[in-house]
Structure 1
Amino acid sequence: MEKQLSAKTFLETARNRVILDVRTPAEFLQGHIPEAKNFPLFSNEERKEVGTLYKQVSPEEAYLRGLELVGLKMRSFVEQAKVLAPQKKLAIHCWRGGKRSQSMAWLLANAGFDVVTLKGGYKAYRNYVLNEFEKNNYQIIVLGGRTGCAKTTILHELQKLGEQVIDLEGMAHHKGSAFGWIGEDVQPSTEHFENTLLFELQKLDQNKRIWVENESRGIGKIFIPNGFWKKMKSASLINIERPLEERVQHLVDTYTQESKEDLLIAFQKIKKRIGGQNLKMAEAALSDNDYSQAAKIALGYYDKTYQYNLEKNNSPQIFNISYHDKNSKEIAEELISFCKQKNI
């Protein structure tokens, strides 16, 4: 008989098991436990059919149709499970820990698999995720700076030097501005972003500092979970400053390899903020392949916005540090030394 586990215990146990999410592909796409495999009991269309029968005819008729659909696939389920989990150790869940996960667990347990299930299903897991953000006291340091300071690159250098880093923009597939979507994969749902964020946080030592980039709560179309956002706002902020020329060059290096049409679309998104005249100048600069001039026009807006937000920032400690003619690795090394000196 399979064992039903709480979300916390299920995740701990699943480190040595293969997680099978038996919800539909559509449900899985909306959000899932990181590293889980989609192993749908029903296809999207089949689940819709069974659900319609349940509501419009009767639960019994829906159950019988479900048996009919699944019966044809039982052998295939066992064979696929053997490929995915050669050690035959599985952790299975559905949406609420109901019939779908129970049915799959029964089948695979009878086929010789060691199976545990998630009590309350994915819904319970989601509650666990959001509660974890609220209750954990992460030792966060926020790295800030104007657009073009190469903050993400510096975070990656910090990570190479052994620091703990959470790359929010990398998880969100967005760089955080009107231009942030360019060159990125499709963004995940906010739900799945939250799942991934907790998954990455749980790999880290909560008693040591964790670096994150200074962000608005919204990164493209996704939002940082409120519990984690509150901890970012109460953390120390290290605001780095770099010369305009260096920031322009960083933007040129980042965006010249991208589609010029995409850059034009991004400029059009901020037309009201930069003004019609500046938009025309930016379009002309891109037409002439003058990416430096286009970057300066964008920075004229973003620098004002960043300064306004910095003046409104209520972080308990704000440190302003200027860097000139230093690469990202050198800045990362100096930031580590600074934190040791300040004991943060």
Structure 2
Amino acid sequence: MLREISINEYLNKAAEVPLVDVRSPGEYQKGHIPGASNIPLFSNEERAAVGTVYVQQSKEKAIELGYKYVTPKLDWFISESKKRSRQNSIAVHCWRGGMRSKSFAQHLSENGFADVFVIRGGYKAFRKHALEAFKTKAEICILGGYTGSGKTYILKELKNKGAQIIDLEGLANHKGSAFGRVGSGEQPTIEQFENNLFWQWKDLDLQKPIWVEDESHRIGLVNIPMNFYNNMRQQPVIFLDIPRQERAQHLVNEYASVNKAILEDSIRRISKRLGGLNTQKALDHLEKNEFFEVAMITLVYYDKYYWRGLKNREHNHIYPVEIKHIDHSTNAQQILNYHESIRVQEH
């Protein structure tokens, strides 16, 4: 059976029906539906050549060239799709549900696949659906706190205790500061970050609290979708008030094993804000492996930077929680208890 389905219909089947993206590798790398496998009809170079012929000659000539590229790959399309299909069932999409996905799906249907679904509107329909989804209001709980408060670890503990969370820094593969790339791999594209965020968002109960870390609009090289970010900015902040010495030690535990050249580069990135004297002091301490002193110097800058951002919020939307020591599990429970007390008071 071969039939078209909407993106909503596919999302309801996503857990059971594998998805194949037949766009070129370059299109796929820029952004794709999470979980989709790339079995490209054309290579990047072939796609460019077909496009050139379409513009400079005709649609018919472009189709003719396309068939020339595709014909030797027909058996490969079948074998690769079989590796990914489940019970001879598979879904297919291209950029907007046009000739590429329909011809690929027809080929599968004629060669033993029982159920082949083509996503109507293709990847373009998915993108529209994903970005629209961020307009939906939800009870987002913002976990704030100065650098070194262990917010990411607390999020994980909140999840262990049954709370809903979205780890934006985890999705961005960046910790959101000059040191944010330390210990992290390559960041996704902005488009892929949005796709991955939606993939988590779609499965959450929007009637229940969703915990996220307080973030700037930009995390490294990616941006939080504007509708999602605006929703965040309208929510109250539960602010972890943890002594600087505790936070400095936490940073030492996290970064002391990192290559010092990377740490030095990160310090130099904020040298204008640290000032020449503090930058040199931090570099001197780094050279001597005095990581605690480095952390204390850089935290002065980060604390001021974060506080300026926090002051842009309505004051009565900030709820400080005084915490003496960094114990992620204990702190997570304290935050849950405090949040529940706030909800009781407001109702």
Structure 2: stretches of 5+ with no match in the other structure: none
* TM-aligned CA deviation for residue 167 of structure 1: 0.2
| CA distance in 2: counterparts of 1:137 and 1:208, whole angstroms | 11
Stretches (4+) displaced over 4 A:
none
| CA distance in 2: counterparts of 1:121 and 1:315, whole angstroms | 45
> What is the aligned partner in structure 2 of residue 46 from structure 1?
46
- Residues 24 and 42 in structure 1, CA contact (< 8 A), matched pair in contact too: yes
Written as runs of structure 1 = structure 2, the 5 A alignment for 1:5-84 is 5-84=5-84
- Residues 233 and 315 in structure 1, CA contact (< 8 A), matched pair in contact too: no
| CA distance in 1: counterparts of 2:228 and 2:250, whole angstroms | 29
| CA distance in 1: counterparts of 2:139 and 2:6, whole angstroms | 27
> What is the aligned partner in structure 2 of residue 118 from structure 1?
119
* TM-aligned CA deviation for residue 277 of structure 1: 1.2
- Residues 246 and 326 in structure 2, CA contact (< 8 A), matched pair in contact too: no
Q: Percent identity?
A: 41
- Residues 142 and 212 in structure 2, CA contact (< 8 A), matched pair in contact too: yes
In structure 2, do the counterparts of structure 1 residues 72 and 97 end up closer, same or farther at CA, with 3 Å as the change threshold? Answer: same
Letter of the 2:221 partner, please give it.
Answer: K
**Cα RMSD over matched residues?**
1.3
TM-score by length of 2: 0.96
* TM-aligned CA deviation for residue 157 of structure 1: 0.7
- Residues 4 and 119 in structure 1, CA contact (< 8 A), matched pair in contact too: yes
For 1:234-283, what per-residue CA distance to the aligned partner results, in whole angstroms no more than 9, with x for missing partners?
A: 11210011111110001101111211111111111111111111111111
TM-score by length of 1: 0.97
Letter of the 2:124 partner, please give it.
Answer: K
* TM-aligned CA deviation for residue 325 of structure 1: 2.7
| CA distance in 1: counterparts of 2:282 and 2:21, whole angstroms | 48
| CA distance in 1: counterparts of 2:13 and 2:80, whole angstroms | 21
| Alignment size in residue pairs | 343
- Residues 174 and 180 in structure 2, CA contact (< 8 A), matched pair in contact too: yes
| CA distance in 1: counterparts of 2:107 and 2:315, whole angstroms | 54
| CA distance in 1: counterparts of 2:34 and 2:326, whole angstroms | 37
SS in 2 for 1:312: coil
> What is the aligned partner in structure 2 of residue 244 from structure 1?
244
* TM-aligned CA deviation for residue 326 of structure 1: 4.8
* TM-aligned CA deviation for residue 316 of structure 1: 6.1
SS in 1 for 2:321: strand
SS in 1 for 2:333: helix
Written as runs of structure 1 = structure 2, the 5 A alignment for 1:225-264 is 225-264=225-264
| CA distance in 1: counterparts of 2:86 and 2:225, whole angstroms | 36
| CA distance in 2: counterparts of 1:287 and 1:177, whole angstroms | 22
| CA distance in 1: counterparts of 2:282 and 2:14, whole angstroms | 52
| CA distance in 2: counterparts of 1:326 and 1:109, whole angstroms | 58
- Residues 149 and 326 in structure 2, CA contact (< 8 A), matched pair in contact too: no
Of the structure 1 ranges 84-93 and 208-217, higher mean CA displacement relative to structure 2 is found in 84-93
Of the structure 1 ranges 117-126 and 173-182, higher mean CA displacement relative to structure 2 is found in 117-126
Written as runs of structure 1 = structure 2, the 5 A alignment for 1:123-142 is 123-134=124-135, 136-142=136-142
* TM-aligned CA deviation for residue 15 of structure 1: 2.6
Letter of the 1:129 partner, please give it.
Answer: A
In structure 2, do the counterparts of structure 1 residues 315 and 62 end up closer, same or farther at CA, with 3 Å as the change threshold? Answer: farther
- Residues 5 and 118 in structure 1, CA contact (< 8 A), matched pair in contact too: yes
Letter of the 1:214 partner, please give it.
Answer: D
* TM-aligned CA deviation for residue 343 of structure 1: 1.9
